[in-house]
Amino acid sequence: MSVSSHGRRTAAQIAAGVRAGTLTAKDVVSSALARAVEVDAVDKLNVFLALAGQQATQQAVRVDASDGARGAPLAGVPFAAKDNISVAGLQVTCGSRILEGYVSPYSATVIERLREAGAVLVGKTNLDEFAMGSSTENSAFGPTRNPLSPDLVPGGSSGGSAAAVAAGVVPIALGSETGGSVRQPAAFCGIVGVKPTYGRVSRYGLVAFASSLDQIGVFGACVADASTAFGVIAGRDDRDATTADVAVDDYLATEGSLKGVVIGRPREYFPAELDAGVARHCERALDRLRSLGAEVRDVSLPHTAHAIPVYYIVAPAEASSNLARFDGVRYGLRIEGDGLRGMYEATRSGGFGPEVTRRIMLGTYVLSAGYYDAYYRKAMQVRTLIAGDFRNVFASGVHALFTPTTPTPAFPFGSRSDPYEMYLSDIFTCTANLAGVPALSLPIGRVGKLPVGGQIIAPHFAERRMFQVAGALERALGAEAHR
Amino acid sequence: MTRGPEAALLARYEMVVGLEVHVQLKTATKAFCRCATSFGDAPNSNVCPVCLALPGSLPVLNATAVELAVRAAVALGCTVHGTSVFARKNYFYPDLPKGYQISQFDKPLATGGHVTIARADGSTVNVGVTRLHMEEDAGKSLHDRFHGVTAIDLNRAGIALIEIVSEPDMRSTQEAGAYLRAIKQILQYMDVSDVSMEEGSLRVDANVSARRRGATELGQKTEVKNMNSFTGVENALAVEFARQCAVLDAGGVVEQMTMLWDASAGEVRPARAKEGSHDYRYFPEPDLPPLVLDASWIESVRARLPELPQARRSRFEREYKLVAYDVDVLTASPALADYFEAVARATTDAKAAANWVMGEVLAALKSTGATIGSFAIRPDRLAELLRLVRHGTVSHTAAKQIFSAMVASPEAPDAIASRNGLLQVSDDAALGRWLNEVIAELPKEAERYAGGEKKLQGVLIGAVMKKSKGSADPKRLAQLLAARFGT
């Protein structure tokens, strides 16, 4: 696998180079585009569903032409976006056949904000259909391969974006999270992945999967790049009523010491059957945190065991409603059938893949009259208890939690054909979505050549604390993070 | 439609009616996006990613819609809740772009109001308002526009609505009609809606059941839809009630179903079975936070509430000393009441203002098809005309001619009167009478004038002008004076 001349530069380095005039946005973007072609055409990773060559080149030229634009925080930094995020003039497939031919007439708020900060979108990345999956195997356009080990999955559902960063195409990328879809592929691909506090980042333009859980997240090759991109996209948006009007901090934390910081180690996230390599690297990371001055405290989040069942009621319920608009009437695929009902049936059964169909059926069932109280209402009550676990532990003086991101490292294609087994990949991540708290995964070591991710979970809107702990741990681990 | 059969059936069966009224709020933009709400625009011209339900779009609540809904709720005597929750009502239909309607379900905006209506016998009764909630409209399916296909117009999709659900408190078609007219009048007075059934800004679904006199349990109800006028609602209820009574008379059981009113045939027909058996799978709308309203803000809406119809009726009786019938006519709509009140205040003769508004004005509206808001004679002009009558400047008969001319011309009434010779004082006899009186009152001045003192002409004419309150024609007067004394 070859590495292009600009591909491994960090976002900070690219922005500094463009600002100083030692790099041009046009050159950076054209090598990113070349690398994007290479990873799919030569390396067969199947990362991109579309490249935005023309838009990217035009924007890069504009960045180079203006002193103001060259001074922007992400000037000339190429980025990729998961193909469930709308960009005016580009397709949004959501990895599904049902959106065949649909081109968005508008751009998501996060795209506008990154572009205003000088970042240049180079392409749209592969994903599990409608972000439903943990391996990118559910894409209608074929699975993405893990750049570190092409026989293994990159994780999902934002597998394409994770792979784009891991393969050195772009230093930052956008994904989306509903139950771990940024953190889990970040862990599998050995990069940093961030899930914001619910309401921190606008969802306007993100094709909804489960609205009360969805957040757009960022990938970065390092904590600093991820935090810079995160700072750019964070903040209230008048087009998303669920965004919070909470001040956006400077997330580029550089302090080395964690003296006075209390890190919780929730016992439910370290079960006996945890993969031995994952467990070993987590303990090493906890040791590093201690040596940075942090106090590591054993804590409990007692309702953790209910998270997967709750998640697989709430998320499909909302999905069954969110996906109703894909009906063949206004855009995307239409397959004619016998009358209106026949058209609906033909279009939707022809357009949605098996996992999406399974979740729509599950969601429709749990919202049905007579089942609503037993499933959806009950699940929402348990969800409140799960959120309460986090509130309680953070109220007890704990500043952040440290856990493994996933129970195992990346797995081979086809190895988790039982849906429930696949769902368990999200066991340590979906809790943060249910509680709405921010969480981040960063590489903490490797088992063989497979990366292991460590997760840092912080209280609502305390992303600054999360980046502080992550940055300090990243520096303390140094090269160990990739060993 | 005769009411005869209804009266006969009501002797044996009691009719129980509850109504669901959907009202489009008068906002410039839609409930959850900034598209215009104007009626009659080219199909699909007032649309955006949000109301087209493009992937990734999100709703943002229109604050004006909330204010109008709260105003309506307060006017209907409802309790407005500090927290209400939007919910998704899920169903597939081509004119419902998202596949769900944003509505409110178990936590509506307001509950527990009432509307006072008059019964046929003149007594009044309170009809309970169970709830008032906010929701959005669907688009329109046009089945007859293109051959063989259905066209969809989404201009209406997303327009803000309120749904007002009554208790099953009405016992006749007359009461149902009275309730609807009262609701319409209140919403008009609150200026929250155009409340036009023709334009679809007010729509009614009716629930009706029949039970034998003396029974305490409610009978099985059916829902009747597709009425496009209040009279249509009354007729549909009478027909459906008669159908249910016939079923019960035959020893049968009324089945729960939805009936569609066919106005041209005067019949109700069962809708396809599916219509009634939807499972809407309601759940809280995750894209919108709960609607939280400050108690003090709700109170400020209450404080700024426009005058309600009942309050205005009482005030008209008191302030203008009008009889109840006249008050009812004059307060039928807030625009008519405003018009009357402007005329009454400008003339200080409320009785004359009332007679003219109820007589000439309403007749002119009827014959021209104008609304009071667009009527050619504005209140100040009508007041001028009434003043001419009052001052004796024009006769009552002449005033009616002037009024007719004013409907077609923007000219002032006195100009019309003068141009058409309708001023009473252009008449030589009247001028002559005034002249005789002045000569009798001022004999010396008259004598001196006759003797050639021309300058006294001014004194004599001035006295006539004073006597005629300025309405005499001085030029004609001078001629008459000269002729009288041969000067």
pLDDT at B390: 84
Average pLDDT of the residues of chain B: 92
Angle value at C-alpha B34, between B32 and B35, nearest 5 degrees: 105
The answer to whether residues A460 and A436 touch, using CB atoms and an 8 Å cutoff, is yes
Residue that is written with structure tokens 């990328």 in the block: A173
Say which residues have a Cβ less than 8 Å from residue B248's Cβ, sequence separation at least 6.
B13, B210, B212, B219, B254
pLDDT 10s digits, A83-127: 999 999 999 999 999 999 999 999 999 999 999 999 999 999 999
User: Does residue A306 register a pLDDT over 80?
Assistant: yes
Q: Are strands A120-125 and A78-82 parallel, antiparallel or unpaired?
A: parallel
How crowded is the C-beta side of A173, counted as CA atoms within 13 Å? 40
Angle value at C-alpha B335, between B330 and B337, nearest 5 degrees: 30
Q: Is residue B57 within 8 angstroms of chain A, CB to CB?
A: yes
What percent of chain A has a predicted confidence (pLDDT) above 70?
A: 99
The answer to whether residues A379 and A310 touch, using CB atoms and an 8 Å cutoff, is yes
pLDDT 10s digits, B295-352: 999 999 999 999 999 999 999 999 999 999 999 999 999 999 999 999 999 998 999 9
Active-site residue, A82 included = yes
SS3 per residue for B56-110: CCCCCCCHHHHHHHHHHHHHCCCEECCEECEEEEECCCCCCCCCEEEEECCCCCE
ipTM associated with this complex:
0.96
Which residue in chain B has the smallest CA separation from A91? B55
Which residue in chain A has the smallest CA separation from B148? A339
pLDDT at B409: 87
Catalytic, out of A31, A96, A139, A157: A157
Q: Which residues of A427-456 are buried (b: 16+ CB within 10 A; e: fewer)?
A: bbbbbbbbbbbbbbbbbbbbbeebbbbbbb
**Residue B3: band (very low, low, confident or very high) from pLDDT cuts 50, 70, 90:** low
Nearest of B18, B131, B84, B7 to residue B293 by alpha carbon:
B84
In this predicted structure, which of A374-383, A436-445, B351-360, B465-474 has the lowest mean pLDDT? B465-474
CB contact under 8 A, A105 and B54: yes
A399-406: average pLDDT: 98
User: Does residue B195 register a pLDDT over 70?
Assistant: yes
DSSP string for residues in B348-362: S-HHHHHHHIIIIIH
pLDDT at B4: 61
In this predicted structure, which of A80-84, A185-189, B95-99, B198-202 has the lowest mean pLDDT? B198-202
3-state SS of chain A: helix, strand, coil percent to 5? 45, 15, 40
Which residue in chain B has the smallest CA separation from A372? B281
| CB pairs < 8 Å spanning A and B | 102
pLDDT at A3: 38
The answer to whether residues B309 and B189 touch, using CB atoms and an 8 Å cutoff, is yes
Catalytic, out of A4, A31, A82, A227: A82
Question: How many angstroms separate the CA of residue A391 from the nearest CA in chain B?
Answer: 20
Nearest of B312, B327, B329, B16 to residue B175 by alpha carbon:
B16
Give B469-475's long-range contacts (Cβ < 8 A, gap of 24+). B469/B391, B469/B393, B471/B391, B471/B392, B471/B393, B471/B423, B471/B424, B471/B425, B472/B425, B472/B431, B472/B434, B473/B423, B473/B425, B473/B426, B473/B431
pLDDT at A105: 98
CB contact under 8 A, B58 and A241: yes
* Closest CB from B100, B152, B288 relative to A241: B288
The answer to whether residues A300 and A266 touch, using CB atoms and an 8 Å cutoff, is yes
Nearest of B139, B133, B148 to residue B37 by alpha carbon:
B139
Please give the DSSP secondary-structure letter assigned to residue A21.
T
Give the residue from A327, A371, A384 with the most B CB atoms within 10 Å of its CB, the best one to mutate: A327
Q: Is residue A325 within 8 angstroms of chain B, CB to CB?
A: yes
CB contact under 8 A, B99 and A325: yes
CATH architecture of the region B425-485: Orthogonal Bundle (1.10)
Question: How many angstroms separate the CA of residue B33 from the nearest CA in chain A?
Answer: 9
In this predicted structure, which of A18-27, B99-108, B268-277 has the lowest mean pLDDT? B268-277
Catalytic, out of A30, A86, A104, A181: A181
CB contact under 8 A, A204 and B88: no
Alpha-helix runs per DSSP H in B391-473: 396-408, 413-419, 428-441, 443-450, 457-467
What is the greatest pairwise CA distance in chain A?
69
CB contact under 8 A, A94 and B55: yes
Distance CA A72, CA A66 (A): 10
Q: Is residue A242 within 8 angstroms of chain B, CB to CB?
A: yes
User: Hey, which residues 367-406 in chain A have their CB within 8 Å of chain B?
Assistant: 367-369, 372, 376
User: Does residue A462 register a pLDDT over 50?
Assistant: yes
A206-217: average pLDDT: 98
Separation in Å, CA B372 to CA B187, B204, B347, B395, B439: 17, 26, 19, 26, 49
Separation in Å, CA B289 to CA B79, B104, B420: 21, 12, 68
Kindly list the domain boundaries of chain B, sorted by start residue: 4-297, 307-422, 425-485
Chain B residues close to A339, C-beta within 8 Å: none
| Tokens matching residue B49 | 């990613």
Average pLDDT of the residues of chain A: 96
